[in-house]
Amino acid sequence: MSAIDTSASGFLKETTRYPTVIAGAILLGIILLIAFLTPLLSNTDPSYIDAARRAQPASASHWFGTDMLGRDLYTRVLYGAQVSLIVGFAVAVLSTIGGLAIGLMSGFVKAIDAVVMRFMDGLMSIPAILLAVALMSISKGSVTNVIIAITIAEIPRTARLVRGTVLSLREQPYVEAAVAGGTRLPTIIFKHILPNTLAPLIVQATYVCASAMISESILSFIGAGVPPVIPSWGNIMAEGRALWLVKPFIIFYPAVFLSITVLAINLLGDGLRDMLDPRNAQRTTSR
């Protein structure tokens, strides 16, 4: 296993062999910068209504034009980045924690496994976006509720992944040795099992993040997402729908930003998957 260098400089050197990681990271970095620097990049209020300038095409004062209420699209799209990133990262983190807890428990306690995994199978049989739609239709529209709804829909996949990894790790001689040597269960979990589930978990978290952003935009687009007052990309597109045959640009800008952000995270995830896969590490070093 010497193929994987875990030091920071080694990690960076390793990264250069995977251009998709770099491309994804740079793209994501740009979007993150936009989200953090939004107040600097635009000093307009995203909800300021200029009724005299409705649905205007791009101009010097409105770089992306204005929407049907005369609000500045450029500013709204920039603010939309915050919503998407918050939802994406929050769901990724929460579903990883939840999935890890459930997966570890099912992997170690047979009694829990039988019940919990049947329940997870049931949850997984409900298409994720529909589960989120159903949850959102009976709760108040808010960013927090969107995050909770998407997290519930995403947890089973992560739990399943962790459980599978735990079950195969438990059979490993070093874990059996630790058990035979009388190591306590928490130590086995935190010292021997957890570090080895991290690589697939990180990759899974990037995919969950990308899928959560798409889910958020779909929920907002069909009216089951964040409240319309919040400029999320899905909301901007939903509002642009009425005018889209004559003013397609209102949908165009948030669509491009959303696609680029999701693409960046998927590239990062694909690259990390190849990078963290020990089989690939051995293949590249043996050349």
Partner 1 sequence: MYAYILRRILATIPVMLIVAFIVFSLLYLTPGDPAAVIAGEHATAEDIARIRANLGLNDPFLLRFGTWIASIMQFDLGTSLLTNMPVSQMIGQRIEPTLSLMLPTLILAVCIAVPLGVIAAWRAGTKVDHFITVFAVLGFSVPVFVVGYALVWSFSLKLGWLPVQGYAPIGQGVSRWFQHLVLPCLTLSSAYIALITRITRTAVLEVLQQDYIRTAEAKGVGRHAILFVHALKNASVPIITVIGIGVALLIGGAVVTESVFAIPGLGRLTMESILRRDYPVIQAIVLLFSISYVLVNLLIDIAYTFVDPRIRY
**Count of CB atoms within 10 A of residue 273's CB?**
20
The percent helix, strand, coil of the chain (3-state, each to 5) is 75, 0, 25
Could you tell me the smallest distance in angstroms from the CB atom of residue 263 to partner 1? 4
Could you tell me the smallest distance in angstroms from the CB atom of residue 39 to partner 1? 27
Q: Kindly give, in sequence order, each residue whose CB lies less than 8 Å from that of residue 29, ignoring residues fewer than 6 positions away.
A: none
Q: Kindly give, in sequence order, each residue whose CB lies less than 8 Å from that of residue 209, ignoring residues fewer than 6 positions away.
A: 88, 89, 91, 92, 265
Q: Based on CB atoms, which residue is closest to partner 1, 197 or 217?
A: 217
**Distance of CA 178 to CAs 34, 53, 192, Å?**
48, 71, 9
Q: Based on CB atoms, which residue is closest to partner 1, 135 or 203?
A: 135
| Phi, psi angles (nearest 5°) of residue 72 | -75, 115
Q: Based on CB atoms, which residue is closest to partner 1, 166 or 214?
A: 214
Could you tell me the smallest distance in angstroms from the CB atom of residue 113 to partner 1? 15
Could you tell me the smallest distance in angstroms from the CB atom of residue 191 to partner 1? 33
Contact residues toward partner 1 (CB under 8 A) are: 118-119, 121-123, 125-131, 133-140, 210, 214, 217-218, 221-224, 237, 244-245, 248, 251, 255, 258-259, 262-263, 266-267, 270
The encoded tokens of residue 180 equal 């035979």
Could you tell me the smallest distance in angstroms from the CB atom of residue 19 to partner 1? 11
Q: Based on CB atoms, which residue is closest to partner 1, 62 or 247?
A: 247
